[in-house]
Amino acid sequence: MDLENFTISSFHKRLLNKEFSVLEIVQTLFKFIETRDKEINAYLSLLKDGAVTEAERVDIALAENKFVSILAGVPLAIKDNILINNTKTTAASKILENYIASYDATVIKKLRSAQAVFLGKTNLDEFAMGASTENSGFKITKNPFDLSCVPGGSSGGSAAAVAANMALAALGSDTGGSVRQPGAFCGLVGLKPTYGAVSRFGLIAMASSLDQIGPITKTVEDAAILFKEIAGKDEFDSTSVNHAYDEILNSSIDKIRKLRIGIPKEYFIGGIDKKIIEGVEQAMEKIKSLKLEFKEINLPHTKYAISCYYIIMPAEVSANLARFEGVRYSSMPEVEEKVKTLRDLYFRNRGSGLGVETRRRILLGTFVLSHGYYDAYYAKAQKVRELIKNDFVEAFKEVDVIISPTTPTPAFKIGEKTKDPLSMYLSDIFTCPINLAGLPAISIPVKKYKLDSGELPIGFQLIGKPFHEADILGIGQFYEKLEA
């Protein structure tokens, strides 16, 4: 089975042609995962029983000539911070090692009713905090393009699973870049929707004003298909909104040509890897050949984005992670000889249940929120966030879409940045401003099918106006046709 050539729509067509059954595909995939994932480490757990049951259900529906949706039977990988009822959900944290989810996240419910198949839960940086998947409490995922490199993070397991053909597509979550950056590192498309476009109900919260769930796929079209399915208002997430995305899969070239593209000076600065600049310029040339107008713009507060993100995000992390106090979710026995006081219990369970980076962010977060420092850090960062948002509001008066690199470098070596958190944090330089502003953005691979051997993938980013996913997905789909 040529798993690498499947996209969601080609899978659907061939399924309707009865070229294979879903069960065959699912069984082939599990067999393949058994060997391939020994070197990649993308999955934390597999959902064999559920996947087989769902596969059989779709096969029966097809045999009875019932209508099935475009996602029917599509084998997906799900980041392990998204709840699937009755299955283990760890967020790659030891403190949740034995936690079994008691309900489905809204995105899962929606994909379930579209009859998608969930193959397993994928590795991530603990609670989605990181840019390399090295902060997982369980294992380090490798980049399928070069096993000595990271797949990016925090949705590194999801990206590696798709890039290694161990799933057709995946869901990740993006708080400061965690869908787009691993997408870029693994030669895939990663879409971070507008804040509020997709329900966060059932996503283990990292930083609630920044988190969004998004698809990681092989093509822009696949990202659009998945996004359309998971988007929409949800009564369980009061920040979610309804928006019609009818045109997302069939925008016309005439409409796309009316979109003006902005090039932000501040995103093409010194210190970016030469290959990234070359790659993004190459993508821009291709997009120019579609006859779109380009224009230079300014986003003057970009230089404050990383500092602002690394104050607001840990503040929210410290509040959200307070529930993991070491009693309710701990996998450890509550009473043991050595633990005499409640304080000892907290120290022991949190100390061994939470990793170094998680503890660092909880400490940073409680510090910036503490009496005497609140105004100097948290309140100031909120003001800076407004300025960053406002840069985009102003820019979008002149242009419709903004283009930039997704990351300053291609995938880096495992271990290269673990000792230096600051250089790790800088990986988010082009992605975290978008979360601060709540905008939609997509990372698209440059030169997808034409990588020289030994070459690592590179992604470019398209940023849209709020709820204008159709614009970035539309340009992306036409770009992709030129690349094919």
Does 136 help bind ligand GLN (rule: CB under 6 A)? no
Residue 134: phi, psi to the nearest 5? -80, -15
Nearer to ligand GLN, 278 or 420 (CB): 420
**One of 132, 136, 154, 330 is an active-site residue; which one?**
154
Of the residues 93, 158, 173, 178, only one is catalytic, namely 178
Site for ligand GLN in 310-369 (CB under 6 A): 313
The answer to the question of residue 70 lying near ligand GLN (CB under 6 A) is: no
Residue of the chain from 89, 90, 178, 406 that contacts ligand GLN (CB under 6 A): 178
Task: Report yes or no: 292 and 260 within 8 Å, Cβ to Cβ.
Answer: yes
197 binds ligand GLN (CB under 6 A): no
Contact yes or no for 171/216 (Cβ under 8 A): yes
How many other β-carbons are positioned within 10 Å of the β-carbon of residue 28? 14
Burial of residue 178 (CB within 10 Å: 0-12, 13-18, 19+) is buried
Least distance CB 359 / ligand GLN (angstroms): 14
* Closest CB to ligand GLN among residues 350, 361: 361
152 binds ligand GLN (CB under 6 A): no
Position 428 contacts ligand GLN (CB under 6 A) = yes
Q: How far is CA 450 from CA 149, 185, 479, in A?
A: 20, 15, 15
Other beta carbons within 10 angstroms of residue 237's beta carbon come to: 17
> Measured at CB, which residue is nearest to ligand GLN?
178
Q: Which is nearer to ligand GLN, 133 or 165 (CB)?
A: 133
Is 178 one of the annotated active-site residues of the chain?
A: yes
Regarding 176 and contact with ligand GLN (CB under 6 A), the answer is yes
Spell out the long-range contacts of 247-252 with Cβ–Cβ below 8 A and sequence spacing 24 or more.
Answer: 247/470, 247/474, 248/224, 248/469, 248/470, 248/473, 248/474, 249/221, 249/224, 249/225, 251/470, 251/473, 251/474, 251/477
Q: How many CB atoms lie within 10 A of CB 406?
A: 30
Minimum CB distance to ligand GLN, residue 410 (Å): 16
C-beta closer to ligand GLN: residue 6 or 377: 377
Q: Does 291 qualify as catalytic in the annotation?
A: no
Binding status of residue 175 toward ligand GLN by CB under 6 A? yes
154 binds ligand GLN (CB under 6 A): yes
Question: Is the CA virtual torsion 313, 315, 319, 325 positive or negative?
Answer: positive
Window contacting ligand GLN (CB under 6 A); options: 51-59, 106-114, 125-133, 456-464: 125-133
* Residue 154 annotated among the catalytic residues of the structure: yes
Helix ranges (H only) for 151-216 are 156-163, 180-185
Q: Does 174 bind ligand GLN (CB under 6 A)?
A: yes
Nearer to ligand GLN, 87 or 178 (CB): 178
Beta-carbon contacts of 347 under 8 Å, excluding residues fewer than 6 positions away, are: 326
Crossing angle of the two packed helices 356-368 and 305-320, in degrees rounded to 10: 100
| 443 contacts ligand GLN (rule: CB under 6 A) | no
Of residues 237-266, those binding ligand GLN (CB under 6 A): none
> Among the residues of 190-273, which ranges form H helices?
220-230, 253-257
Q: Which helix (H) or strand (E) holds 40?
A: helix 22-40
Of 50 and 410, the one with the shorter C-beta distance to ligand GLN is 410
Which range touches ligand GLN (CB under 6 A), out of 36-44, 176-184, 240-248, 389-397?
Answer: 176-184
Token readout for 53 is 């049951």
- Of 214 and 262, the one with the shorter C-beta distance to ligand GLN is 214
Closest approach of Cβ 128 to ligand GLN, in Å? 4
Give the residues lining the site for ligand GLN (CB under 6 A): 128-131, 154, 174-178, 206, 313, 428
Catalytic residues: 79, 154, 178
